[in-house]
Chains A and B, each alone.
Chain A
């Protein structure tokens, strides 16, 4: 294996002063949005896309990736200090993390969260480096039917792991596919569903849709609920965990890393589900489950490791197969496409510096995050005191400037308010936008591969079952569906989401 040669190449690329700087900025901005409520990683990446236009592809991707895993770290800071998850994946951390803070042990809770995340990030980064090339090689054997089956599997996964109702998640996928088909037809160039509006000929702008559904809609929802942020007034003293803390946490960190790594690769939002799975497991394994919810350090260590491992490994399907497993990775596809890179197995062979440089930067970024999070925790606490009435107009300004500069089109800004309202309405009706965004990105690819498959097979649908790889992927999709539809498992899944 020349994995070490590859990693050396990657570190060489990532260690340029420019890329180190971008990695740091990404991790810092990620932490910031993780700490501040009301802006998720999807919206942030979308808003910052225009800023990356002037960078080279590697630098752009390094910064955007940094935002994503930075948010996973930052989210835990507010979860522990304020009992408010800055990020959905940090919801479980509030349970025991905030209890620890109330007992005056905020320091060790923060330290274990950061160190556990760093450990998980390191392991998961190596996993990406190990599995990536193997999967990319396997993908060389993929034809149109396999790609179609793979994307179908991905979409099924997105519905299974969506927390709202299954039927509604499927409906969101279908709407996403429909929105994705707006614009000129790939083969004939005929304008589709454009209402005769010239600006729609190139399709709906991906950034506009994402910022509207995830940025503006989030602001609209937050404005309804006057928030109470009870920032911990006690000064945080002593970051160092005791030996007993470390001994208790280490097995939880190991298990969390394992769970997170696996769930991150699977389609759907692994980084959101993984902490729940890890928390449930730790509670089951604990000698005294009663300690959980009252400041058990394993309840912080496990889930925090799990969400960070999941965040790292969710890059695997994107980098090797070109298929984003969740909505954040769908944003990365958008970023890569703007840079002129078509995600897929060919990236690794044609652009090894980019592929390995990004992997190396993940490890560097994780190391930086330990520094950003621990000694600087006081800065983040002060930021938490910023009132929302000042914060949201600032976020909105960035949304508008970002969306406008993608194409320099004012119509995109007008559409932003349409999608913002749509996202707000969807939430009121109990729909979730994440599957929609994923389907929107996959839609054109799926249609293309479906059309090609039928062209090869002269309209015979058997082509999807005759080829073993495609059959295997379809069976996996059916298997996932059965899992959701089986009543006993379904109840467990609902319980997991309620907790």
Chain B
């Protein structure tokens, strides 16, 4: 008998859950389980990993039997600039300060827009950064350095 996948969405989703449960169970393996009357730190996470694996397997199996949705393709060209922009902001915010980190964030993420244009992005971005600098560190007194620290 050949396996036919009737719902790629469910099969993939179920397998992701099983994988997640496996990672969690592996992490919780060293923890003390305790007893039901006096639960140790490992009790709750281990039971949850088991249940998640069970549900994941169930969802994956259902995907083999019941017809369902296909997985819509991941649009990496839209996705990656945004994720990269956030990561760069995280790495830059402390050493480089709010202004430089914001410039990098706005430029990198703007590339993901289907109708990207330099002019509007630069003008609007400059205004936005000015607004952010005035609002966050100055008006609200949030602990953000504006310029790079040396």
CA distance A393 to B107 in the complex (A): 9
Inter-chain contacts of A389 with B (CB < 8 A):
110, 113-117, 120-121
**B150: CB under 8 A from chain A?**
no
Other-chain residue from A177, A195, A430, A450 in contact with B10 (beta carbon distance below 8 A): A430
Across the interface, do A455 and B37 meet the contact criterion of CB distance under 8 Å? yes
Across the interface, do B86 and A216 meet the contact criterion of CB distance under 8 Å? yes
CA distance A379 to B128 in the complex (A): 20
Which residues of B (12-34) have their CB < 8 Å from a CB of A?
Answer: 12-13, 16-17, 20, 24, 27-28, 31-32
Inter-chain contacts of A462 with B (CB < 8 A):
none
Other-chain residue from A50, A404, A429, A457 in contact with B93 (beta carbon distance below 8 A): A404
Other-chain residue from A54, A178, A404, A451 in contact with B52 (beta carbon distance below 8 A): A178
Which residues of A (363-415) have their CB < 8 Å from a CB of B?
Answer: 387-390, 392-394, 396-401, 404-405, 408, 410-414
Across the interface, do B89 and A413 meet the contact criterion of CB distance under 8 Å? yes
Q: Mark B97-127, 1 if CB is under 8 A from A, else 0.
A: 0100010011001101111110011001100
**A121: CB under 8 A from chain B?**
no
**B39: CB under 8 A from chain A?**
yes
**A223: CB under 8 A from chain B?**
yes
Which residues of B (33-57) have their CB < 8 Å from a CB of A?
Answer: 35-42, 44-45, 48-49, 51-52, 55-56
In the complex, how many angstroms separate the beta carbon of A429 from the nearest chain B beta carbon?
Answer: 4
Q: Mark A207-249, 1 if CB is under 8 A from B, else 0.
A: 0000000001001100110100000000000000000000000
**A428: CB under 8 A from chain B?**
yes
Inter-chain contacts of B52 with A (CB < 8 A):
171, 174-175, 178
Across the interface, do B41 and A187 meet the contact criterion of CB distance under 8 Å? yes
CA distance A396 to B121 in the complex (A): 14
Q: Which residue of A lies closest to B69 (CB)?
A: A430
CA distance A82 to B13 in the complex (A): 35
- Stretch from A65-73, A324-332, A416-424, A488-496 contacting the other chain: A416-424
Inter-chain contacts of B78 with A (CB < 8 A):
220, 223-224
CA distance A267 to B149 in the complex (A): 48
Q: Which residue of A lies closest to B102 (CB)?
A: A397
Across the interface, do B142 and A390 meet the contact criterion of CB distance under 8 Å? no
In the complex, how many angstroms separate the beta carbon of A56 from the nearest chain B beta carbon?
Answer: 15
Q: Mark B126-150, 1 if CB is under 8 A from A, else 0.
A: 0010001000100011111000000
CA distance A168 to B20 in the complex (A): 15
Q: Which residue of A lies closest to B35 (CB)?
A: A459
Contacts A224-B78, A405-B143, A430-B10 hold; do A413 and B49 have CB atoms under 8 A apart? Answer: no
**A198: CB under 8 A from chain B?**
no
Across the interface, do B90 and A390 meet the contact criterion of CB distance under 8 Å? no
Q: Which residue of A lies closest to B136 (CB)?
A: A401
Across the interface, do A400 and B140 meet the contact criterion of CB distance under 8 Å? no
Across the interface, do A393 and B125 meet the contact criterion of CB distance under 8 Å? yes
Q: Which 8 A-B pairs have the closest CB atoms?
A: A459-B37, A413-B90, A185-B41, A389-B113, A429-B13, A417-B86, A459-B36, A223-B78
Q: A174-B52, A193-B24 are in contact. List 7 more A-B contacts (CB 8 A).
A: A167-B59, A175-B17, A175-B52, A224-B78, A392-B113, A393-B110, A414-B91
B contact set with A: CB distance below 8 Å:
9-10, 12-13, 16-17, 20, 24, 27-28, 31-32, 35-42, 44-45, 48-49, 51-52, 55-56, 58-59, 62, 68-69, 71-72, 74-75, 78-79, 82-83, 85-87, 89-91, 93-94, 98, 102, 105-106, 109-110, 112-117, 120-121, 124-125, 128, 132, 136, 140-144
A contact set with B: CB distance below 8 Å:
50-51, 53-54, 167-168, 170-171, 174-175, 177-178, 181, 185, 187-188, 190, 192-195, 216, 219-220, 223-224, 226, 387-390, 392-394, 396-401, 404-405, 408, 410-414, 416-417, 420-421, 424-425, 428-431, 447, 450-451, 454-455, 457-459, 461
